[in-house]
């Protein structure tokens, strides 16, 4: 449509949805975060960059929901924002940090990795970084080089996030659980393979120590059928028969991280008493 073809009153009615300031979409079109990112570039300065969870989502790692704020960084000299629906941050930017995309720019892998690592919550930041590492959008050596020598606020925490990250993680809750435990000194390996004494595959466990036959599994809220429940019980029985101890952590328990740590530490201590670590 051309300028002036739709009245302001009609734009504000039920036939259109506002994606960001001054950018609208016919109400029948599904809203995605990628679409909102593209809309945001229509009002951003040319040297602004879509980054973080938004850039990861554009690159097919869905870290942002449709109506989450579009994450944007701009050079320190630029005055842009606040803008409703956008999360804007001023920071040092270099030419290698982005590539042209839509009407502005999209963060490079290293840049989006840094901005993910700068998130306030260390478990959440690590979970996001795990996801983009697993997808191959970034790699640890490149990020380590990119982080080296930087001095912006939060960079020390970002390096800690990089240290804790692991591309083997298969879900954000699993990543958050691993970080909560690691920060309390309980270092577990993601996606541990459990085998019988004869070396036959038994199961893959979210987090664990194979030498102690100890595992921790995240048990999210789900509504499975009886066949799925039966498979889970048979799997757990086989693990127990092979000498494994499995500690389950539920979604509700994750709201009480201190209790999660205490439960896992207690279970790990008991397993160490029954199965001393092999030399």
Range of weakest confidence among 4-8, 28-32, 85-89, 225-229: 225-229
What average pLDDT does this structure show over 80-89? 94
Domain ranges of the chain: 8-164, 172-274
Residue of 191, 158, 173, 163 whose CA lies nearest to 127 = 173
Using alpha carbons, list the distances in angstroms from residue 183 to 124, 161, 164.
Answer: 13, 11, 9
Region 172-274: CATH code: 3.40.960.10
Radius of gyration of the chain (CA): 23
Residue of 13, 100, 48, 64 whose CA lies nearest to 24 = 13
Residue 185 backbone dihedrals phi, psi, to 5 degrees: 90, 5
The tens digit of pLDDT for each residue in 210-248 reads: 999 999 999 875 545 666 666 777 889 999 999 999 999
DSSP output for the chain? --TTSS-HHHHTSTTEEEEETTEEEETTSPP-HHHHHHHHTTTS-TT-EE-HHHHHHHTT---S-TTSPEEEEE-TT------TTEEEEE----GGGEEEETTEEEE-HHHHHHHHHTSS-HHHHHHHHHHHHHTTS--HHHHHHHHTT--STTHHHHHHHHHH--TT--SHHHHHHHHHHHTTT---EEEEEEE-TT--EEEEEEEEEGGGTEEEEEE------HHHHHHHHHHHHHHHHTT-EEEEEETTGGG-HHHHHHHHHHHHHHHHHHSPPP-
Residue 146 has pLDDT above 70, yes or no: yes
The answer to whether 51 and 23 have CB atoms below 8 angstroms apart is: no
Structure tokens at 84: 């409703």
Name the pTM for this structure.
0.88
What average pLDDT does this structure show over 123-131? 98
For residue 249, what are the β-bridge partners? Answer: 218
The tens digit of pLDDT for each residue in 151-195 reads: 888 999 999 999 999 999 999 999 999 999 999 999 999 999 999
Q: How confident is the model at residue 96 (pLDDT cuts 50, 70, 90)?
A: confident
């Amino acid at each position: 449509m051309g300028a002036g073809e739709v009245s302001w009153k009609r734009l504000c009615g039920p036939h259109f949805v506002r994606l960001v300031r001054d950018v609208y979409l016919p109400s029948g079109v599904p809203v995605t975060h990628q679409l909102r990112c593209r809309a945001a570039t229509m009002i951003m300065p040319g040297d602004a960059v879509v980054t973080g969870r938004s850039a990861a989502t554009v690159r097919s790692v869905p870290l942002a929901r449709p109506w989450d704020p579009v994450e944007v960084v701009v050079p320190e000299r630029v005055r842009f924002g606040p803008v409703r629906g956008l999360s804007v941050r001023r920071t040092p930017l270099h030419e290698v940090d982005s590539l042209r995309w839509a009407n502005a720019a999209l963060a490079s892998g290293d840049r989006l990795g840094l901005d993910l690592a700068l998130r306030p919550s260390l478990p959440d930041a690590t979970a996001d970084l795990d996801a983009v590492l697993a997808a191959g959008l970034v790699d640890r050596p490149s990020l380590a080089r990119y982080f080296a020598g930087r001095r912006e606020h939060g960079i020390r925490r970002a390096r800690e996030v990089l240290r804790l990250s692991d591309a083997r993680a298969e879900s954000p809750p699993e990543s958050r659980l691993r970080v909560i435990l690691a920060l309390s000194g309980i270092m577990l390996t993601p996606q541990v393979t459990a085998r019988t004494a004869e070396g036959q595959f038994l199961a893959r466990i979210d987090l664990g120590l194979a030498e102690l036959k100890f595992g921790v599994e995240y048990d999210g809220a789900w509504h499975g059928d009886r066949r799925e429940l039966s498979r889970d019980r048979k799997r757990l029985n086989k693990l127990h028969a092979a000498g494994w101890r499995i500690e389950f952590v539920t979604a509700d328990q994750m709201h009480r991280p201190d209790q999660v740590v205490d439960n896992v530490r207690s279970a790990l201590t008991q397993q160490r008493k029954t199965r001393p670590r092999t030399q």
